[in-house]
Structure 1
Amino acid sequence: MKHLLKKAALPVLMLLALILSGCQSSSQDQQTEGHAKPDQINWKVANFKFEDENKHPFGLSDLKGKVWIANFMFTHCTSVCPPMTGNMAHLQKQLKKENLPVEIVSFSVDPKRDTPQVLKNFGQKHGSDFSNWHFLTGYSFNDIKNLSERSFKSSVAIPSEGSDQYTHGTNFFLINKKGVIIQKYDGFQDVPYKRIVKDVKDLER
C-alpha cells in the first residue's frame, strides 16, 4: 500500500517541481529584462541619421567614440513618458556630478506629431539639458519601429483603435563607444541610478 502511495505521489511531486521551476524562471526573466548583465547583451546599433530638437541632422556618426544612453518616448504620452523623461533628467544630473561625458538620445515613436519644436518644449518642461541630450524625429514610424525592434530588441506598436497612445519599451539602454548596446535598465520605476553611473565609469576607463 505504501508503495502504491509513493507511486501515486511521484507524478504530483514532479508536477509541483515543474510549477515551482516555472515561477522561478519567470522571476529571473523579469529581473533580466530590467537588469541584464553586460555579457548578456551585445547588440550593434544600426546606422541612423535623423533630426534633433534644433532641426539639426544627428546620427550614429555623431556618437562615434562616445558612451551614450538611449530611450524611446513620445510627447503626447499620458502614462510612462513624462516620468521616464524626468528620470532621465535626474540621471543626467547624476552623470554631470561625476563629470562623465555621456550623450543621451531620446527617440520619438510618434514622429508625425513630435516636431523638433514640440520635442524641445517637452524636454524643457521635464528638465532636460540639451547640451548633451538629443531628442530625435524626422523619420517615418516604420523607420523608428525597425530601429527599436531590430537594434534595441524593444517592440513598438501604433495606437489601438480609438486611442492615440503608442506602445513602446521603457528601458534605458547603455551603448559603448563602438555603438554596441551592452546594458539595459528599467527607466520607469526603481531606476538604478548608482548602478548606471558605475557602469558608465567602467566604460570610460
Structure 2
Amino acid sequence: MISWREVYTLLRRKWIILVGYLVISSLLTACGSYKFKPEMSIDVQDFSFTNQNNEQVNLDSFKGKPWLAMFIFTNCNSICPPMTYNMTDVQKSLEDEGVKDYQIVAFSVDPEVDTPEVLKNYLKTYSVVDDSKWQLLTGYKQVYIEQFARKSFNSLVKNDPNSDQVVHMSSFYLVNADGVVVKDYDGTTDVPVETIVADMKALSKN
C-alpha cells in the first residue's frame, strides 16, 4: 500500500513539473513562438475612399502592416455601437502589448449619410486611445460597398427597404500586410480579444 508520504511526494513532483511547463510555455510565447494560422485567403480589391479627416485613402495606404476591418454606419441602432466599442477594447489591448504598426479600418455601409464630418463626430463618442490609427471610410455609392464587401471580405451588406437601416455582418476581419483577408472574428458578443492581439503581433513581425 502506498503511504500518504509517497502520495504527497508524487503529487508535489507532478505540481513542480506542471508549474515548470507553464513557465516554459509563457517564456516561449513571450519569445514569439506563437504561430499564426490563416483561415481565409481573399484579396482586398483596390480602392480609393475618403476618411473621416476628408483625406483620400487607398489600399496601398495599408500595405506593409496588418489591419483590422469592419463594416458599420453611424445611424445603426443594433450591432454597430457594440462593435465599435469592442474595437476600442481591442485597440487598448494592442497598445498595452506594444503593437504599434497597425490600422483599424471601418467601411461605412451608409455612405450617403456618413460624410467625413459625421464619421469624425461618431468616432469622438468613443474612448479611443489613438484616433490616428482609425480610418473611417466613405465616398462611394451604396451599390458599390455591397459588391466590395462581398468580393473583398465575403461579407453581406444590404439595404433594408423598409427602414433607414442597413443589413451587414458583425465580424472583424484581419487583413495581412499584403492586403489579403486571412481571418475573421466575432465583433459583438464573444470577441476573442487575446487571440486578435496575438494574431496581430504575429503578423506585425512578418
- Which TM class, normalised by the smaller chain length? 0.7 to 0.9
Q: CA deviation at 1:116?
A: 0.5
Q: Name the CA distance, whole Å, in 2 between partners of 1:126 and 1:166.
A: 21
Could you tell me whether the CA contact under 8 Å between 1:95 and 1:102 is conserved in 2?
Answer: no
Q: Which amino acid aligns with 1:117?
A: E
Q: Name the CA distance, whole Å, in 1 between partners of 2:65 and 2:202.
A: 13
Q: Name the CA distance, whole Å, in 2 between partners of 1:121 and 1:64.
A: 27
Q: Name the CA distance, whole Å, in 1 between partners of 2:176 and 2:134.
A: 16
Tell me the SS of whatever aligns to 1:40: coil
Which residue of structure 1 aligns with residue 119 of structure 2? Answer: 119
Which residue of structure 2 aligns with residue 87 of structure 1? Answer: 86
What does 1:169-188 correspond to in 2, within 5 Å?
Answer: 169-188=169-188
Q: Name the CA distance, whole Å, in 2 between partners of 1:126 and 1:75.
A: 12
Could you tell me whether the CA contact under 8 Å between 1:45 and 1:181 is conserved in 2?
Answer: yes
Q: Name the CA distance, whole Å, in 2 between partners of 1:39 and 1:193.
A: 17
Which residue of structure 2 aligns with residue 143 of structure 1? Answer: 144
RMSD of the alignment, in Å?
1.2
When normalised by structure 2's length, the TM-score is 0.79
Aligned in 2, Cα 1:68/1:39: closer, same or farther, shift over 3 Å?
A: closer
Aligned in 2, Cα 1:203/1:158: closer, same or farther, shift over 3 Å?
A: same
What is the number of equivalent residue pairs in this alignment?
Answer: 168
Could you tell me whether the CA contact under 8 Å between 1:82 and 1:126 is conserved in 2?
Answer: no
Work out whether 1:167 is the aligned partner of 2:167.
yes
Deviation digits for residues 153-205 of structure 1 (CA, Å, limit 9, x no counterpart): 011111232x1110001000001100011110000111000000111111122
Q: Runs ≥4 in structure 1, deviation > 4 angstroms?
A: none
Tell me the SS of whatever aligns to 1:134: strand
Which residue of structure 1 aligns with residue 32 of structure 2? Answer: none
Tell me the SS of whatever aligns to 2:105: strand
Q: Name the CA distance, whole Å, in 2 between partners of 1:76 and 1:169.
A: 15
Q: Which amino acid aligns with 1:107?
A: F
Query: What percent of counterpart residues are identical?
Result: 43
Q: CA deviation at 1:144?
A: 1.0
Deviation digits for residues 30-86 of structure 1 (CA, Å, limit 9, x no counterpart): xxxxxxx94430111010110000100011010011110000000000010011100
Q: Name the CA distance, whole Å, in 1 between partners of 2:77 and 2:39.
A: 32
